[in-house]
Structures are given as C-alpha cells and as structure tokens.
Amino acid sequence: MSKEIPKNFNVGICGLGTVGCGTLALIQGNSEELYRKLGRNLQVTHVATRTPRDDINLYGVKVSGDIFDVVTDPDVDVVVETIGGFDPALDLVLQAVENGKHVVTANKALIAVHGNQIFTKAQAKSVTVAYESSVAGGIPIIKALREGLAANKIDWLAGIINGTGNFILTEMTAKQRQFGDVLIEAQELGYAEADPTLDVEGIDAAHKLTIMASVAFGIPLQFEKTYTEGISQITPEDVVYAKELGYHIKHLGIAQNSAKGVEMRVHPTLIPSSDMIANVDGVGNAILVHGNSVGATLYCGPGAGAEATASSVVADVMDIARLDSIDASAFAVSGLGFRNPYTDVQIMDIEDISSEYYLRIQVQDKVGVMARITSVLQDCGISIEAVIQKEAVSETLPIVLLTHKVAERDMNKAIQLLEDLSEVSGKIARIRVAPFADGTI
Amino acid sequence: MSKEIPKNFNVGICGLGTVGCGTLALIQGNSEELYRKLGRNLQVTHVATRTPRDDINLYGVKVSGDIFDVVTDPDVDVVVETIGGFDPALDLVLQAVENGKHVVTANKALIAVHGNQIFTKAQAKSVTVAYESSVAGGIPIIKALREGLAANKIDWLAGIINGTGNFILTEMTAKQRQFGDVLIEAQELGYAEADPTLDVEGIDAAHKLTIMASVAFGIPLQFEKTYTEGISQITPEDVVYAKELGYHIKHLGIAQNSAKGVEMRVHPTLIPSSDMIANVDGVGNAILVHGNSVGATLYCGPGAGAEATASSVVADVMDIARLDSIDASAFAVSGLGFRNPYTDVQIMDIEDISSEYYLRIQVQDKVGVMARITSVLQDCGISIEAVIQKEAVSETLPIVLLTHKVAERDMNKAIQLLEDLSEVSGKIARIRVAPFADGTI
C-alpha cells in the first residue's frame, strides 16, 4: 500500500431520527465485529441534530446543531445523511461531495429525483454516494443488482417494496377487512405515517422502483416517468374474487426492459397464489429479479425499521472504508452501476403496455347483460380467460372477469364503453395481472 | 487515476466443461452489456482444454492443451478455474496466484478443503481468489454475507444448498415416491451424477456450508468438522407424517454462532410448512440468513446449471476488473471477508448440539407399548410435544413423536435404549427439527 492507512475511519451522521440513531447504535454495538472485518476502527465522531436526546450514547462524539458543520469537519471520512426530504438534504449532500467527502444516504426520494445530478458531481470529485438503504431496507438489493448479478442483462424485476402497503393488503386478504380500517390500525402500530399518502398512493414505491430500474438497465433516473397507482381503491371483494381465481393481490413495482422500451410501473397486481412472492406477508419486502443468464432470483427481508435500515447504511460505510484502506483513487462501481449508461432509452407510456386484467363490473340483474359485456370486449379485441358471476344480493351483482393480454389503451377504451352501458353501475374495478408467469420461483 | 487503464480485460479459462463453456458463452453473448458496465472490453483470450470442441465459438481465442499455459500467459489478467476436483486444480490455482494473477473458481471442494492455504498465499501476493459461484450457483450469497450484510454479527444461516437433494425430496413429498426411484429419475434428467454420493450423502452441501460459515462468522475453513448426513434414509412415510405434524422435510445446511461455539451441520430437517424456505421446490436453492441488526433475510434462485453458475463466475471477474480499473493495489475485501478472523473458536460436536426431534418407531401392536416408550424417554429427560399413532396394518405399527429440545448425546442414548426394547422392531428413524422457528420469514 502506498500510504499509511489511519487506524480509525470516522463517520459523521446528519440527523438523529430513527435511521440516524439506528446507525449510531449499530456502529457502537457491533464495533468489535466491524473491526474484525475492516482491520480499522469504525467510529462515529460527529453528529448533527437540532433536537438533542439524552437516551443515546454520545460519549466522545462531537454534537452540532448545524448539519453543515459535519460536512466541513476535516476529521469526518464519510457523511451519513438521514434527515430525509429534499431541503436541506440536497444541499447537504452536494456540499459534502464538493468537500471531497463520501456520502451514505437512506433518502430514496432524494436519489430518485436528484440522483443524476448527485452522481455526476460525485464522479467528478471521485467520491462515493452510496444508497443501499434507500431501497428495501435491510435487503442488499442494490448490491445484488449492481454487482452480484452484474454479468446479466436484467430482463425485468418486480418487488413488494412498501411494507405499509403490504401490511394493509395482507390484513385485507387474511381477514376480509376494509382498506380504511386496516390503515387506521397500521397508523396505530407505527407502520403508517399520520399522512399515509406516500405509502398508500405508491409514491414511496415509485421512488424505489425508479432507482432499481436505473441500476438494472443502465438508464438515468426518471422518477417522473414511473406510472404510479396506489392501493386505496382495492376492496375486500377484490381480494376474495382474486383468490377464487387463484391469485393474491400485492402492490408491486415492476420494471421491464424489452425491445419496445422500458416499463416502470407501480400498481396493485394479481400474482399466482403459488408463487413465493405472493406469500410474502406483513411489512416484509421481496424483490424478484430476472437476468438473462441467471434466470429468476428472489430476495426477501425487512424493508424498514431502524436496525434493518442501519444494516444497509453501515454496509455502505464499510464498502467505502474498505476501498479507502487499499488507497483506491475512486469508487470501483459507478453510482448507478454503469460506466456507459444508455441516455436515450424510451420509457413506455402506461397506455402502450400490455397486461392481462382483472375486472369487477357491477351490473343490474337483467337478461342479456353478460352478452352485452362480452360483445363490447370483443369489439375492443379483448378475449376473456375466466369469469365469476355471483348471485344478486341486491338489485345489482358483480361480474368478475380475467382477460387475456391487451394494451392498456384498448382496455381504457373498453372500460369507458362498458361504464356507458345502462346495465353497468358505477365505476369498474380494474387490476393488472403480473407479467412474469414464466419466470417465477 | 495514476496509470493508463488498458481498453481490454483478458480472461483465461481452464477447462471447457459445463461451467467453462457457460462462462465463455456469457462473456461473448453479453459483451455489449458488460462493456456498458465496466467501460472496458471483457474478453476471453485463452482457454485450455484437453478435449477441443467444435460446437463453441473460439474465434480469436488461443487454445492450449495444457491448463498451465494459461497461468503463465502474460496477457491473461484473470484465470477462471473450472476443472473441478483437487488435482491439478490446487496446483493450478496456487501457481496462478504465485504468478500474480487473480483467480475465479467455482470449485467448492477446493475452497472448503484448501481455502485457508489459498487465501493466505493470495493475500501475500495481493491478488484476489473469488469463489461466488462455488456456493448456491447464481445466487450472490457470498457477496450478501461478506459485503451486503457486513454490518451484522451473523447469528445463524440455514440453506437448501444442494439442488439434486431438493429435487428428490420435492418429488418424494409431492408424490410419496421412494428415494431410490426418484434418484434414478434425477440421474436420467441430468440432475444427479452417475455416482450420486457427493449430492445425496450431503458432502457437496457440507462443502458449501463450510464456506458460508467461515464468511459469516470469520473463522478458518474447517470442512472436516462439519457434521454431514444425507437424505438416503428418508422414507415416503416420514414425509407424510412430517406433513401431518405441520412440517416439510428439507435437506439443510445449518451454521449457528452462539456462546457455546459454532455449529456446522448438514442433515435432513423438519421445517414448519408455512415458512417460505419450506416451499422452495425442485432444483432451486435458498439461504436464510439471520443478522443481529437486519434480522432474517432470504435469498432464492438456481443453485446449478451452466448459465446460472456462469453468472456468478463473470460477476467475480467484473469485481476484479473494476478494482483493476481504479488501480487498486489489492482486493478490497479479504478472502473470507475478515481482516482479523477468530482462529480459536470451538466448532461444536454434533453430540453437544440440542434439537427438537422427529422420531418414527416401529412397534409391535401390544398393550402398554406407548407407556414403555414414554417411560424410556422420560428417564433420558426427553419430553414429548406431539404424537401420531397409526392403526396397525401388519403385526407392527408406527409411533411418530415430536420431542422438545434435547442434546443429541441424550437422544442417542434414548434411541439405543428404545431399540433394545423387545416391542421395538428395527432401527428408529430420527430427523432433527429446524432451530430457527423464531427467525423465519
């Protein structure tokens, strides 16, 4: 080695919320194990927080009220950003990079929305911005995509990447409960925020999917082009009918790379009940990845929580410390995994994407209604794979259909025509079927 | 960067069997994708094989009859060893390292038995010996243990790590078939070797478990201390009774680190049927890892096959190419993941390990037989959790028991006393229950 490697590797943490405190506790609690692995002492030397706490061990740690004090501290080797949001997180990260400091962040929104700018600057400054903890908590999925499966052209990936949503759907499936009831319970249990929009409307999942798609396919981050649909419209009836048809309903992020372009979409999805990923329950996360050489691989684990997220934060810190220890002049793997990303790949509009569909149509109990519905579908080029028709319990009854593959544009047209029929009451429920029947584990 | 990085990164492959040909085909077939990731051309420049083949593309590749020609080729940056076995694989790897060349190997027996010697020499020579493909085929489990979960103290891991054995048990479970019948089918399908000993007696799984335990716990490789038991004694009756009790029988490798010492054991295991890992079927592999910060994570995928194994071989080659590209003076992660391994950790004798047990005891249909059995167990300090007693179909009938936790030493004593009873016919079937009921996904 060409330089003397210091005995210590110093971590500065900005923000002492759940993830910040978890990171501090992990580095303190596992210090002997970390030393055994690195051959150096990994230690937190500086934290910044606006709300000091008495319940954590800050012995020997410098505490600042201003997060920007950490990024200018000459003794800090790596800055851990755990404040979340865009402002001042973006400025903080950019300034740390400007100062030649490596950064580890758990901030999925920041990476999904501002990652292109951040990685460009990091490359120019020869520092690392690592973000394993921003996707799927404790599951090392970024490392799997960027390094473990690097030899593959990734065909597609699909993941349960929002624990809150998965908890709600699991409860709805197990107990036929209403979405709203379970959401309140999830808030009481601390699984959902007071404002649950980011989780239940799919925005959090879309941030994570955007990041995974870029790493998998070698394309710039394009959060604004990810189709996003939440789970708030799913009813207990849909869960029951899906089960009768042999499916579980899960909230999936799906990214697919084909000759037609790249698909990025987050929405409720019917998955064959026998698939392993259909049986990932509660707040767990799971990501199925299909590579052109390896085939299908599956990664499951905790997607949130202080300790699980800290596991990934500190793994990133250790990667950086290991490279620092061999005097590497730059990070070995580029930010999104590709030295030469494609910059002109078409992200497909949801209307151009073909799926099989589950439809639940509430109709009046009249002779010939089924014939009219099938006629409309036929006119739109949509053929039917399975039907469930229930007894009328009031003036209307549900017809549940599973269709063969059709472009979303044609399905939208069909749904509009169907909703215009006098026999059809209210809105039609529509859920896409998972596209990966061939590649399951 | 302090030196000019050559445009090409050159791979030499020793042996053109399944994995060697798969590696060649993958590097050729995904060349554009690999270039996009590395910013350099990854190319096979030299192969050595004793049996040249016409069905593969060797245009522009130097072909030698002597594998040692590859390790002395000054243009080869990394040597891929796919010949298998110990002789001449060990000499080949040691000589490549001596010549300052990085090595990638899929040879689990070589690493498990001679890895300590190999990694010591590699460290002295500042080269990498990478072996992701030696464990669980295409699943990047070494990377997950060594890097992705590096922040954790790994408590335990348990894996289905032999596809042949899992295929046989899956068929026996689905169709109540006999071990011997399914083995013949597995041989016809190419899932089992003509001599199936390595697979069905657990030796292959023990090689892989030995490697994972060292990487997880930071201890030297100690294959000779891994307790190994195969699946050839499992009967269709056991599969059926286990199911009645709520379990699947899987062939597991289990490594656990506790205050008592390290457990390393490979044997048939009862797993609660609702656990995800109990439902990994066919030739698939799956590894459950429990870290003290992240909790439980699960990794599933293909454990064998040319393309899946090549995926991991080429990922290792790319890791090496990436570090070469930043002029790193040595590999960032040490061979087994720890700069300071423990060298004096006690590997526990199987007799000192406690398990719950499944017992199947064939008894004569006499009054009081159950009382005598429970009395013997009670005298040995063994309490019973569940019992299945079947109608006699001949002169004897099976009694199936599930016990509470007991040390193997006490269970061995109890089984000997039971087999000595005049009412007991033949040998008692004994299967251990998985120890990870609390940490499942």
Give B180-218 as a DSSP string. Answer: HHHHHHHHHTTSS-SS-HHHHTSHHHHHHHHHHHHHHHT
A78 located within any domain: yes
- What's residue A427's pLDDT? 96
Torsion of Cα atoms, A292 then B169 then B156 then B350, to 10°: -140
Residue B108 at interface with chain A, using a CB cutoff of 8 Å: no
Segment A57-68 shows an average pLDDT of: 93
Residues of B in contact with A323 (CB under 8 A): 328, 332
Return the H-helix or E-strand segment holding B179.
helix B179-188
CA distances from B304 to A314, B18, B191, B192, B241 (A): 32, 10, 9, 11, 30
Of the listed A7, A208, A250, A413, which one is catalytic?
A208
Pick from B2, B301, B330: which is nearest to A326 by CB? B330
Rounded to whole angstroms, the Cα distance separating A109 from A207 reads 6
A2 located within any domain: no
User: 3-state class of B404 per DSSP?
Assistant: coil
Rounded to whole angstroms, the Cα distance separating A44 from A80 reads 10
* Most confident by average pLDDT, A329-333, A436-440, B413-417: B413-417
Residues 371-390 of A with CB under 8 A from B: none
Residues of B in contact with A28 (CB under 8 A): none
Residue A177 at interface with chain B, using a CB cutoff of 8 Å: no
CA A393 to chain centre: 40
Rounded to whole angstroms, the Cα distance separating A64 from B283 reads 55
Strands (E), B203-317: 227-228, 247-258, 261-272, 284-291, 295-302
* DSSP assignments along A346-409, one per residue: PBPPGGG-EE-EEEEEEEES-TTHHHHHHHHHHHTT--EEEEEEPPPSSSEEEEEEEE--EEHH
Residues A422 and A291 in one domain: no
Q: Which ranges constitute the DSSP H helices of B346-407? A: 369-379
A441 located within any domain: no
Rounded to whole angstroms, the Cα distance separating A399 from A383 reads 15
Rounded to whole angstroms, the Cα distance separating A294 from A290 reads 7
- What's residue A1's pLDDT? 41
- What's residue B194's pLDDT? 86
Q: Are B39 and B69 a contacting pair, CB within 8 Å?
A: no
Residues B171 and B293 in one domain: yes
- What's residue B1's pLDDT? 41
Do residue A332 and residue B331 have CB atoms under 8 angstroms apart? no
Rounded to whole angstroms, the Cα distance separating A96 from A293 reads 39
Pick from B292, B297, B329: which is nearest to A326 by CB? B329
Q: Are A332 and B332 a contacting pair, CB within 8 Å?
A: yes
The CATH number of whichever domain residue B248 belongs to comes to 3.30.360.10
Q: Are A311 and B293 a contacting pair, CB within 8 Å?
A: yes
Residue B26 at interface with chain A, using a CB cutoff of 8 Å: yes
Residues 6+ apart with CB under 8 A from A361: A373, A398, A399, A400, A401, A418, A424, A428
- What's residue B192's pLDDT? 87
Question: B164 is written with which tokens?
Answer: 């042949």
Rounded to whole angstroms, the Cα distance separating B167 from B191 reads 8
B341 located within any domain: no
Do residue A151 and residue B314 have CB atoms under 8 angstroms apart? yes
Beta bridge partners of B42: B9
Q: Are A104 and A27 a contacting pair, CB within 8 Å?
A: no
The CATH number of whichever domain residue B132 belongs to comes to 3.40.50.720
Active site residues of B: 208
CA B43 to chain centre: 30
**pLDDT single digits (tens) A227-279:** 999 999 999 999 999 999 999 999 999 999 999 999 999 999 999 999 999 99
Choose the mutation target among B277, B311, B312, B314 for the interface with A, i.e. most A CBs under 10 Å.
B311
CA B206 to chain centre: 6
Residues of A in contact with B326 (CB under 8 A): 328-332
Domain boundary among A267, A302, A337: A302
Which of B434, B152, B382 lies closest to A308 in space, CA to CA?
B152
∠ CA B98-B8-B123, rounded to 5°:
25
Return the H-helix or E-strand segment holding B396.
strand B396-403
Residue A51 at interface with chain B, using a CB cutoff of 8 Å: no
Which of A373, A297, A378, A327 lies closest to A126 in space, CA to CA?
A327
Whole-prediction pTM value? Answer: 0.96
Do residue A36 and residue B328 have CB atoms under 8 angstroms apart? no
HEC string of B76-97 equals CCEEEECCCCCCCHHHHHHHHH
B182 located within any domain: yes
Q: Are A385 and A403 a contacting pair, CB within 8 Å?
A: yes
Residues B74 and B127 in one domain: yes
CB count, 10 Å around CB of A417?
A: 16
Choose the mutation target among A9, A27, A147 for the interface with B, i.e. most B CBs under 10 Å.
A147
Total number of domains in chain B: 3
Chunked mean pLDDT (size 10), chain B, 441 residues: 77 96 97 95 96 84 96 97 96 97 97 97 93 97 97 97 95 95 93 91 98 97 97 96 96 95 97 93 95 97 95 97 76 80 92 97 92 96 93 86 96 97 96 78 62
CA distances from A305 to A294, B319, B441 (A): 31, 30, 15
pLDDT-derived band at A428 (thresholds 50, 70, 90) equals very high
Rounded to whole angstroms, the Cα distance separating A337 from A211 reads 11
Residues B161 and B228 in one domain: yes
ipTM: 0.95
Residues A168 and A282 in one domain: yes
Residues B125 and B219 in one domain: no
Residue A31 at interface with chain B, using a CB cutoff of 8 Å: no
Does residue A225 carry a catalytic annotation?
A: no
Rounded to whole angstroms, the Cα distance separating A337 from A217 reads 9
Return the H-helix or E-strand segment holding B115.
helix B108-124
Pick from A151, A296, A332: which is nearest to B26 by CB? A151
Q: Using CA coordinates, name the residue in chain A closest to B440.
A: A301
Which of B407, B422, B427, B416 lies closest to B372 in space, CA to CA?
B422
Pick from B1, B151, B319: which is nearest to A311 by CB? B151
Do residue A318 and residue B37 have CB atoms under 8 angstroms apart? no
Residues of A in contact with B307 (CB under 8 A): 293-295
Residues B250 and B288 in one domain: yes
B401 located within any domain: yes
Segment A191-213 shows an average pLDDT of: 94
Residues 6+ apart with CB under 8 A from A373: A361, A363, A399, A401, A418, A421, A424
Residues A296 and A313 in one domain: no
Choose the mutation target among B157, B219, B273, B297 for the interface with A, i.e. most A CBs under 10 Å.
B297
Residues 268-297 of A with CB under 8 A from B: 276, 279-280, 284, 291-297
Do residue B326 and residue A322 have CB atoms under 8 angstroms apart? no
Do residue A218 and residue B37 have CB atoms under 8 angstroms apart? yes
B338 located within any domain: no
Do residue B310 and residue A327 have CB atoms under 8 angstroms apart? no
Domain boundary among A270, A290, A325: A325
CB count, 10 Å around CB of A204?
A: 27
Do residue B339 and residue A30 have CB atoms under 8 angstroms apart? no
Q: Considering Cα of B63, then B69, then B71, then B74, what sign does the dihedral take?
A: negative
Backbone phi and psi for residue B27, each to the nearest 5 degrees, phi listed first: -65, -40
Report the gap between the CA of A9 and the closest CA in chain B (Å).
14
Segment A369-378 shows an average pLDDT of: 95
CA A1 to chain centre: 39
Do residue B147 and residue A294 have CB atoms under 8 angstroms apart? no
- What's residue A391's pLDDT? 79
- What's residue B178's pLDDT? 95
CA distances from B435 to A51, A284, B253, B263 (A): 43, 21, 12, 11
CA distances from B121 to A359, B14, B78, B92, B146 (A): 64, 20, 16, 13, 20
Q: Are B320 and B102 a contacting pair, CB within 8 Å?
A: yes
Rounded to whole angstroms, the Cα distance separating A96 from A331 reads 16
Residues 6+ apart with CB under 8 A from B71: B12, B14, B79, B92, B95, B96, B99, B101
Residue B39 at interface with chain A, using a CB cutoff of 8 Å: yes
Rounded to whole angstroms, the Cα distance separating B391 from B397 reads 7
- What's residue B336's pLDDT? 86
Residues 329-368 of B with CB under 8 A from A: 329-333, 337-342
* DSSP assignments along A80-125, one per residue: EE-S-SSTTHHHHHHHHHHTT-EEEE--HHHHHHHHHHHHHHHHHT
Rounded to whole angstroms, the Cα distance separating A241 from A380 reads 24
Rounded to whole angstroms, the Cα distance separating B272 from B247 reads 4
Return the H-helix or E-strand segment holding B129.
strand B129-130
Residues A384 and A430 in one domain: yes
Place of tokens 């299908």: A296
Q: Are A113 and A184 a contacting pair, CB within 8 Å?
A: no
Pick from A294, A296, A332: which is nearest to B322 by CB? A332
Q: Is the pLDDT of residue A36 over 50?
A: yes
Report the gap between the CA of A301 and the closest CA in chain B (Å).
4
| Residue B286, domain extent | 151-300
Residue B201 at interface with chain A, using a CB cutoff of 8 Å: no
Report the gap between the CA of B419 and the closest CA in chain A (Å).
41
Average pLDDT of the residues of chain A: 93
The CATH number of whichever domain residue A359 belongs to comes to 3.30.70.260
- What's residue B438's pLDDT? 53
Pick from B295, B310, B332: which is nearest to A308 by CB? B295
Residues B162 and B293 in one domain: yes
Q: Considering Cα of B303, then B309, then B311, then B315, what sign does the dihedral take?
A: positive
A143 located within any domain: no
Pick from A35, A311, A338: which is nearest to B149 by CB? A311
Residues B165 and B289 in one domain: yes
Choose the mutation target among B28, B37, B78, B319 for the interface with A, i.e. most A CBs under 10 Å.
B37
Do residue B148 and residue A144 have CB atoms under 8 angstroms apart? yes
Do residue A144 and residue B140 have CB atoms under 8 angstroms apart? yes
User: 3-state class of A430 per DSSP?
Assistant: strand
Segment A381-389 shows an average pLDDT of: 94
| Interface contacts (A, B; CB < 8 Å) | 238
Report the gap between the CA of B129 and the closest CA in chain A (Å).
16
Residues B108 and B164 in one domain: no
User: 3-state class of A238 per DSSP?
Assistant: helix
Residues 206-245 of B with CB under 8 A from A: 218
